[in-house]
Amino acid sequence: MSNVYDFTVKDRKGNEVSLSEYKGKVILIVNTATGCGFTPHYEPLEAMYKELKDKGFEILDFPCNQFANQTPGTEDEIHEFCTLKFGADFPQFKKIDVNGETADPLFAYLASEKPFKGFGKGIKNAALKKFSDMNNKIFGDKAYIRWNFTKFLVDREGNVVERFEPTEEMETVKAAAVAAL
């Protein structure tokens, strides 16, 4: 694959969507969860989406239940939670796996383009690393994503330009998105 436009994914209703539909836009691709300590990221993500979508910015939300079973619901339950609690209006796709033999090819590609480099410093980040290391042992060399709310920034040409772990400040994510626009 040469860029993200070469991938097809499924929307939350199961319809195939070519990511080429997003050509020319800056995209933030996120694996999400409804019961995670990082779930409040939905709020700044939605604020960023509202502010930047008219400038050619999209957020693509891919729920995943591979991290401590923190996204147990159906696509409709997840969507309802995100819209009612956070007003999330950006596109939400079918729940997927991001690690292991059943990993969605898009996320394997994203992680190969921008591999994990750590959660950063501090006691919270060290605790998350320990927990994610235990969780990801079952995926071995196919542990592409370390935790919920990992974000990948894609430029207007479909190239993966940045990876943000869930511990990254949302202001940093927004600044990178604005710079890419």
Residue 1's pLDDT band (cuts 50, 70, 90): low
Region 122-145: what's the mean pLDDT?
A: 80
181 or 126, which is more confident?
Answer: 181
Res 126: pLDDT? 78
Q: Which residues are catalytic?
A: 36
Give yes or no for residue 112 having a pLDDT over 90.
Answer: yes
Region 110-131: what's the mean pLDDT?
A: 84
Buried b (16+ CB within 10 A) or exposed e, 19-37: beebeebbbbbbbbbbebe
72 or 24, which is more confident?
Answer: 24
| Sign of CA pseudo-dihedral 15, 18, 23, 25 | positive
Res 165: pLDDT? 95
Half-sphere exposure of 51 (CA within 13 A, CB side): 11
CATH numbers and ranges of domains, the chain: 4-180 (3.40.30.10)
Rg (CA), the chain: 15
Instruction: Render pLDDT for 16-33 as a digit per residue (tens, 0 to 9).
Output: 999 999 999 999 999 999
